[in-house]
C-alpha cells in the first residue's frame, strides 16, 4: 500500500493505460501490457525479457473493474500453472490516493518463493516507478510532453 499526492483519476490512468504501465513496472523488471483493456473478460499478457526459468510472459484475464476504484485480474506466469490473483484498489484520501496492490493465491513451495520475489519487485515499482511516472503526468493523467520526449525517467 502506498499513498500518492495525486488524484484517483491520475493514478487510475497510470495503472490502466497500456503505454504508461511499463513506465512504472519496469523499475521492478516489469513488462508491456499487450492487449490490455480495463474490461471484464479481457485477456492480455505482460511481456518482458525472458530470464532463466521464465519465458517472459504472464497470461492474465480481467475479472473485475470499477473505474478509478478497483481492478482485479488473474496472473499465470508459467504454462499449466494455477492462476494467482492481482487486485489494485484506489481510495481517495485528503492528500490524494491510497493505492493498495494485492497479489494472492500462490500455492506450494514454488508459490512461496514466487510471492517473496514478486513482493520485493512490487515494493520497488510502488516506491520508485509509480512516483516517477505520476510526476511525469499532468493532472488529467496525460504524459507531459517533455516526459514523452525523454521516454520516461
| Distance, CA of 121 to CA of 139 (rounded, Å) | 27
Residues 102-126 pLDDT 10s = 988 877 766 666 666 676 778 888 8
Residues 9-49 pLDDT 10s = 999 999 999 989 988 886 645 678 999 999 999 999 999 88
> What would the DSSP string read from start to end of 94-147?
TTEEEEEEEEE---HHHHHHHHHHHHHHHHHIIIIIHHHHHHHB-TTSPBPHHH
Residue 5's pLDDT is 96
Amino acid at each position: 500500500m502506498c499513498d500518492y499526492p495525486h488524484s484517483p483519476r491520475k493514478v487510475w490512468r497510470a495503472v490502466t493505460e497500456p503505454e504508461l504501465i511499463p513506465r512504472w513496472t519496469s523499475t521492478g523488471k516489469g513488462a508491456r501490457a499487450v492487449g490490455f483493456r480495463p474490461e471484464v473478460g479481457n485477456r492480455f499478457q505482460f511481456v518482458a525479457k525472458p530470464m532463466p526459468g521464465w519465458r517472459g510472459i504472464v497470461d492474465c484475464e480481467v475479472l473485475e473493474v470499477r473505474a478509478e476504484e478497483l481492478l482485479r485480474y488473474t496472473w499465470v506466469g508459467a504454462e499449466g500453472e494455477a492462476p494467482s490473483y492481482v487486485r489494485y484498489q484506489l481510495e481517495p484520501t485528503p492528500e490524494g490516493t491510497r493505492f493498495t496492490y494485492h497479489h494472492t493465491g500462490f500455492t506450494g513451495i514454488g508459490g512461496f518463493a514466487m510471492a517473496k520475489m514478486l513482493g520485493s519487485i512490487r515494493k520497488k515499482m510502488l516506491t520508485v516507478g509509480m512516483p516517477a511516472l505520476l510526476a511525469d503526468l499532468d493532472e488529467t493523467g496525460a504524459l507531459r510532453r517533455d516526459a514523452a520526449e525523454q521516454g520516461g525517467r
